[in-house]
Amino acid sequence: MPVEDIIKAVLDFNEAQVVDLINSELDRGAEVTSLLNGGLIAAMDEVGRRFSSGELFVPEMLLAAQTMKAGLGVIKPVLSKTGAKPKGLVVIGTVQGDLHDIGKNLVSMMLEGAGFTVIDLGVDVAGETFVKSVQDSKADLVAMSALLTTTMPALEANVALFKKLGLGAGVLVGGAPVTRAFADKIGADGFSEDAVGAVEVARRLMAG
């Protein structure tokens, strides 16, 4: 099974093989989202499981992330192919203290693919930096990612800051530990557990 080969190649940290497999699957007409979800994302879930059980450590997690990024490099142009006029402007970033960016990058790619213009502030982004970017760009939406239970409170603090300042942009939150209940509790306007859902939520918020 090709997706299983992709998973194995990510777990072997074999960037060249991941790139080759994805390219050949795309040439064969495979669905890009199935390569993404069934291959690359499934591989990172397995990496997380092995990290939790002590089978691998941070350096290996980093190698797996680099391998996944090589695969995403192939997928990005396919996902982002669109001639549609801009659907809205989104400022996106990973919150302060958090260096995980793969999920955020995927959300960003999917939004671009769906016709949104995206300003990506990167990782370890302070609340004030989100505020300044939204104000300077007059963004419609601000999307924040948090992958650690220790950085989830930054989502809450940022939402409170945006409300206090009357920022006006719709707020989307996400990341592996973030739940709909948490998103509701902190007063975010939108939540999704994955990048495909993030696009739907962004569209809904744009529609008012």
Please identify, using beta-carbon distances, which residue of 21 and 91 lies nearer to ligand B12. Answer: 91
Min separation Cβ 152 and ligand B12, Å: 8
Please identify, using beta-carbon distances, which residue of 2 and 97 lies nearer to ligand B12. Answer: 97
Residue 80 to residue 61: CA distance in whole angstroms: 27
Torsion sign over Cα 184, 158, 98, 199:
positive
Residue 77 to residue 137: CA distance in whole angstroms: 25
Angle of the 42-52 helix axis to the 2-11 helix axis, nearest 10: 40
Min separation Cβ 176 and ligand B12, Å: 4
| CA nearest neighbour of 127 among 101, 98, 147, 107 | 98
Three-state DSSP state, 64: helix
Three-state DSSP state, 165: helix
Please identify, using beta-carbon distances, which residue of 30 and 42 lies nearer to ligand B12. Answer: 42
Please identify, using beta-carbon distances, which residue of 83 and 207 lies nearer to ligand B12. Answer: 207
Min separation Cβ 115 and ligand B12, Å: 17
Min separation Cβ 54 and ligand B12, Å: 10
Q: DSSP label at 37?
A: I
Interface with ligand B12 (CB under 6 A):
41, 44-45, 47-48, 51-52, 58, 61-62, 65, 97-104, 106-107, 143-145, 147-149, 172-177, 192-195, 198
